[in-house]
């Protein structure tokens, strides 16, 4: 963070960026530093276990990403940290690999953290990949990940596939590109965004600052509630319908 920059979080927090050889690690690191977090790019298991939160970036193909994670033992580590309640943010491909499977390049199994699969965008004739700014409509306004953000705001997307959660209660945000698609999810302590917050100007930095606050709260033993008392109870569908 530059000397003249004002941090968006009140206290520093250690967030580790999972290095599995794919994607936008340095740009995510710089964005986290800008909001006031202490960021480390690493594949070392002990460093990942010591961090208050993890970010899984990713640009590339789903099957290769999963192969890299398995080779480094990071698939089991991510499951372990999530089981312990550690906040994890998946970005773009880093969100997709959290699902059960993807149809990309003949198909591959994912981490199985969020029930559902990843499919090619149904664009009704619009070209792929979908590249550029697109409005995301947040369907869970009480989620701590979107605190202080408008209910609809633009983020930068670069993708040809998108997740299809099995449970609509896991949907946090939707956008449109020829047809609606899921652009943000939340499942337990896992948060995922199809867009790139590190490339999304002030809104993206605000979202990363919100994730840092989630990590601070979890590290202090007081994780924020995903939804307030007015939210849907288990078994009651929420308003996100595609």
Active site residues: 92, 196, 198
Cβ density class 37-70: b for 16+ within 10 Å, e for less: bebbebbeeeebeebbbbbbbbbebbbbbbebbe
Largest CA distance in the chain: 49
How far is it, in rounded angstroms, from Cα 39 to Cα 202?
Answer: 19
Q: Which of 207, 222, 229 is nearest to 31 (CA)?
A: 207
The dihedrals phi and psi of 71, each to the nearest 5 degrees, come to -60, -35
- SS3 label, residue 22: coil
């Amino acid at each position: 963070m530059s000397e003249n920059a004002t941090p968006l979080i009140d206290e520093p927090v250690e967030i580790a960026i999972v290095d599995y050889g794919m994607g936008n690690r340095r740009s995510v690191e710089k964005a986290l530093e800008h909001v006031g977090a202490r960021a480390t790019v690493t594949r070392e298991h002990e460093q990942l276990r010591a961090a208050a939160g993890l970010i899984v970036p990713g640009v590339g193909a789903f099957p290769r990403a999963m192969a890299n994670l398995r080779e480094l033992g990071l698939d089991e580590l991510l499951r372990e940290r999530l089981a312990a309640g550690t906040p994890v943010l998946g970005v773009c491909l880093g969100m997709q690999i959290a699902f059960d499977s993807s149809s990309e390049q003949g198909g591959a199994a994912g981490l199985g953290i969020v029930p559902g699969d990843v499919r090619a965008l149904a664009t009704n004739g619009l070209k792929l990949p979908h590249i550029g700014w697109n409005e995301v409509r947040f369907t869970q306004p009480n989620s701590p990940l979107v605190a202080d953000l408008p209910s609809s705001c633009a983020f930068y997307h670069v993708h040809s596939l998108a997740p299809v959660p099995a449970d609509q209660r896991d949907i946090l945000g939707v956008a449109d590109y020829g047809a609606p698609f899921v652009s943000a999810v939340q499942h337990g302590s896992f948060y995922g965004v199809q867009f790139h917050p590190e490339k999304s100007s002030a809104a993206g930095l605000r979202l990363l600052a919100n994730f840092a606050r989630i990590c601070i709260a979890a590290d202090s033993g007081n994780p924020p509630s995903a939804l307030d008392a007015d939210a849907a109870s288990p078994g009651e569908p929420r308003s996100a319908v595609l």
